[in-house]
Structure 1
Amino acid sequence: MWSELSIEKKEKYKLLITNFASLSRVFSQKSSESNDNDITPIINSKFQETAFQKAFDALSEDIANTSFDASIKLDNDKKYLIGIKSFGYTTGYQKIAQFKSDSAYDDWSTLLSNIKMNVKNLEHNEANKLNKDLYKNLATKVANLRNARIASSKAQIKGFNGAGVNIDSIYHVLMPFKNKNQPQILVGQISYLPIDINHIKIIKNEKNNRHPQNFEFTDGQHNYRYTSSDSQLLMDFKNKEIVLETWDINYHDDPFYFFENLHLFNILQGNKTASIQIKSNDTTIIDSVCWMIPNKLGKLEESSGYNAFDGSTKLGKEDRKVSITQIQTKYKNKISTQELDFTVNQLKSILLKDWRGKSKIKERKELRTNLITFIRQIKNKELLEDIENLVFRSSTEMYIPIPDSKQFHTQKPNFFGKDIGTFLSDGKTLALPTTTERKFKLEFIPSGNVIEAYINQEAGKSIQSITNQDILGKWILWEVFQLKERELLTLDKLNDIGINGIRLTKFKDETRGIGLEFIWIDEENPPQDAIGWVAKNKKDA
């Protein structure tokens, strides 16, 4: 990637970073650091990210658990997802992911306990032999989660219109180096790859007797280390092998004087203070909201929203009877009489009985699951497809639910467009009667894909696609959320991929419509634009 970026933009980035690092004396705290040769150049990670975005016109990526920090689209339509890192040139393994919530609900703790007990109670060679398989089992679990997060992130930047779009991922690294003759920052780059599960090999480590739950493994591409106490995955960045450029740092003679007089810059510039409004109308944000995808109990509705496909068929009762008769006729001579009788009786029970109430709906779903299991055992692909189409909705049916939608629309009736969020006197029915009147452009960030969407259902609780429902369902459910067909979206799955929230962005440029991106929200410290149940945890700004 680095070689593909323009020289002009790289020089701008270099200037931003080296100028910041030239002030490193200000951050020197040790009395022993009496001269420049004792001071390591300072790189602030947040400044590094924003400097990278500014210099290369990169988009920020708010995908916390994958460490993708930015994305770049090159002139040839090639896109890069970038993990931005900074660490000392002489340091070792670096953190690249964390899996606390995943290790809590899965059987990771059992594996780790068995590893520890083997080391404690068995001879060294025997313990190593038994633990090798346990380590590999755990490494595979880590790899599956890591890979799902990477795949989800790539799907988001690729978008649902991404056929032919080339997506690559890379780590961009800045490594400060306290050279005895000249302080430096070394620029490095290394591939950001999914873990090759088929080539995982545990690296023997004789020091593991003290902390046997920590181990190292390789996939032939990179070396990794897993630490159990905080469930972190670290990677060997091979610091000395990845250097592409070396930047000399010349420390400012009196950095404190610089900070003392920084206010004079504003006077010289006519008191023009920094503001996000400096951006062009195309990117200026005038409003935004975000919310948690699961409810306050950590649950997702089973038959609505992202799991709308799990609801019962929309066919009327008479049409259901006709469909059952058609199944009976079509497969009369294709499966046994016993198999057909059982299938028809189950269909009549599932489709024709009254299943009102949560407990009854649960019972109906259990019957449906049992029927599908039975049909799979018959091993008739056409029959399975017909039955699934009859007892389920489309496997890609979904909508994006808005939490506390009535309150949201009441407070922001024009967020999606003029009067789209207004209601009739009953306070539930949307005032604008037609889909056309309630439609707006929905832009998926960072892919830039745009669809026509509209607000629908009681109290305007859903965002739905007008023309791309099937495409949108496949992309969000199967690629962004990494679900299998007809797999329910759950809190565990959201934790797996590192997504638990949505942000909607309203731009000053009305031609852009509304931006949507999938994000990670810290429940204990949610963003100031959070709505829904998590908004109660917001700290005072």
Structure 2
Amino acid sequence: MKSFAEIDIDQQGSYLKLLSAVSQLSGLFSESAVPFINYRVAENIFCRSFNAENLSRSDTAFDANYNSLGVGLKTFVCTGNSSTEKVAEFNSLSQSLQNLKGKALALKLGEYRNDRINLANRNYKIDNSIYHIVARKEKELLLYETDYNIIDLDNIHSVKNNKSSLQFEDGNHLYTFNYSKSTLFRKFIIPDSAFRLPIDIIEDPYSLLLELFEENKNLKTSTTKLVRGENYVILPLFSTRNLKKIEIAKSSGLNAWHAKPRENQERRPYGEMYIPIPQEIHKQFPDFFPKKDSPFNLEIPTGEIFSAKVCQENSKALMTNPNSALEKWLLRDLLQLEEGELATIEKLNKLGFDSVIVTKENNENFKIDIMKTNSYLEFINGCSL
């Protein structure tokens, strides 16, 4: 495919214009001649310009979905022709990694990294993937695409250890794992063919902003921003009875099918499950969900829409009708559990998520997506996205 710079030029789009405009305002944040672009701003500009789905909120392997092309977006300062950048964090798995060394550690890191890429592929129906890079140098941006391959586990070699990190190659790229941060880095090499976008940083961006807002007194106020508890909540996929020892209950929540069978039942159907809605959610945000047993639409990331409702005692459960719809998406497609296999917190940690975000358009229409590990705990303690 063409580069995104070429696509933007062909379509007479706004991507390069917006990148240039934001870069020219770098004086708001830095005195350097190297343009400053916050990575979230770069992600938002990309998604707006190419009408791509923004995935950055869920902290999945990809930042955007462009027509089933997973896009990892990287913006970084680069003084030479390469830069080593973070590609994955494994904080929740640090204990399982701490006793591994050398090639065994490299293989486990590759396994975890690949699992998370494949999870994103399944969740968003991604067919192919690439990295889109915005490298920042003095007075210019360098834009290019490079591969977003999984790590080739059969070709790991050149493994080197030191006190602070592990380094290895897989025939495609050089990777470095920082022990203390439980973070995996990849070396990105800037090709000579990268698109060069000259940037002249404005000397006094403050005056420009004053003029802008003076001339545009009736700028439209946003009504689509996420407001904690108003148009989104985050729910745990684990039991909240004991937050000092987080686990998934063996006979409720995702494993409700494993509970004692009801009268005249030999066993409960494997598809029987629900996402827990802790009482703290109802206490803090009593009007977020419709009343108990009132059906509403629930859209998953693939675009499929389920009929859902809040049900059970104390409105503790988010379920779908049929219940097997939610089970297929979450337990089969994402976690890839076999029929009769229990969901565990270890499985969630390996894939890097333990929560879901539910966003609300109105009382009839909601959306759901996965969220990174610890998202519910941060949310219930007052943190916003």
Q: TM-score range by the shorter chain?
A: 0.7 to 0.9
- The question of 1:449 aligning with 2:301 is answered no
SS of residue paired to 2:41 = helix
**Of 143, 147, 158, which residue of structure 2 is paired with 1:191?**
147
Which ranges in structure 1 are unaligned for 5 or more consecutive residues? 34-38, 74-78, 113-134, 159-165, 280-284, 321-391, 422-431, 433-437
Larger Rg: 1
Counterpart for residue 289 of structure 2: 415
Counterpart for residue 473 of structure 1: 327
**Of 204, 210, 224, which residue of structure 1 is paired with 2:175?**
224
Counterpart for residue 187 of structure 2: 236
Counterpart for residue 292 of structure 1: 236
Counterpart for residue 177 of structure 1: 137
Task: Assess if the C-alpha contact under 8 Å between 1:66 and 1:146 holds in 2.
Answer: no
Task: Assess if the C-alpha contact under 8 Å between 2:28 and 2:206 holds in 1.
Answer: no
SS of residue paired to 2:257 = helix
Task: Assess if the C-alpha contact under 8 Å between 1:147 and 1:194 holds in 2.
Answer: yes
Extract structure 1 runs of 4+ deviating beyond 6 A. none
- The question of 1:68 aligning with 2:62 is answered yes
Which ranges in structure 2 are unaligned for 5 or more consecutive residues? none
Matched AA of 1:520: K
Task: Assess if the C-alpha contact under 8 Å between 1:63 and 1:498 holds in 2.
Answer: no
TM-score, normalised with respect to structure 2: 0.85
Counterpart for residue 269 of structure 1: 216
Note the alpha carbon deviations across 1:252-300, whole angstroms, 9 max, x for none.
Answer: 2x3x2x3135134233223325424599xxxxx9622223333223122
> 1:486 and 1:195 mapped to 2: Cα distance?
31
Give the 3 Å change call, closer, same or farther, for CA 277–215 of structure 1 in structure 2.
Answer: closer
Counterpart for residue 49 of structure 1: 43
> 2:319 and 2:169 mapped to 1: Cα distance?
44
Give the 3 Å change call, closer, same or farther, for CA 172–443 of structure 1 in structure 2.
Answer: same
**Match runs of 1:81-230 below 5 Å:** 81-89=70-78, 90=80, 91-104=82-95, 106=96, 108-112=97-101, 135-158=102-125, 167-178=127-138, 183-197=139-153, 199-205=154-160, 208=161, 211=162, 214-230=165-181
> 1:190 and 1:402 mapped to 2: Cα distance?
41
Task: Assess if the C-alpha contact under 8 Å between 1:204 and 1:216 holds in 2.
Answer: yes
**Match runs of 1:383-394 below 5 Å:** 393-394=268-269
Task: Assess if the C-alpha contact under 8 Å between 2:355 and 2:374 holds in 1.
Answer: no
Give how far 1:309 is off: 2.6
Give the 3 Å change call, closer, same or farther, for CA 396–147 of structure 1 in structure 2.
Answer: farther
> 2:250 and 2:277 mapped to 1: Cα distance?
16
Greater share of strand residues, 1 or 2? 2
Task: Assess if the C-alpha contact under 8 Å between 1:406 and 1:461 holds in 2.
Answer: no
Note the alpha carbon deviations across 1:17-55, whole angstroms, 9 max, x for none.
Answer: 1111123345444xxx6xxxxx22222212111111211
Give how far 1:443 is off: 0.9
Matched AA of 1:394: P
> 2:44 and 2:93 mapped to 1: Cα distance?
30
Task: Assess if the C-alpha contact under 8 Å between 1:65 and 1:97 holds in 2.
Answer: no
> 1:521 and 1:394 mapped to 2: Cα distance?
28
Task: Assess if the C-alpha contact under 8 Å between 1:200 and 1:217 holds in 2.
Answer: no
Give how far 1:538 is off: 1.6
Matched AA of 2:316: K
> 1:506 and 1:476 mapped to 2: Cα distance?
20
Counterpart for residue 517 of structure 1: 369
Note the alpha carbon deviations across 1:117-156, whole angstroms, 9 max, x for none.
Answer: xxxxxxxxxxxxxxxxxx2211121112112211222222
Counterpart for residue 538 of structure 1: 382
SS of residue paired to 1:262 = helix
Counterpart for residue 254 of structure 2: 306
> 1:221 and 1:66 mapped to 2: Cα distance?
22
Note the alpha carbon deviations across 1:503-525, whole angstroms, 9 max, x for none.
Answer: 211115x76x1111111265698
Give the 3 Å change call, closer, same or farther, for CA 101–310 of structure 1 in structure 2.
Answer: same
SS of residue paired to 2:98 = helix
Greater share of helix residues, 1 or 2? 1
TM-score, normalised with respect to structure 1: 0.62
Give the 3 Å change call, closer, same or farther, for CA 524–154 of structure 1 in structure 2.
Answer: closer
Counterpart for residue 371 of structure 1: none
- The question of 1:18 aligning with 2:20 is answered yes
The count of aligned residue pairs is 375
> 1:405 and 1:13 mapped to 2: Cα distance?
42
> 1:246 and 1:222 mapped to 2: Cα distance?
24
Matched AA of 1:170: I
Q: CA RMSD in A?
A: 3.2
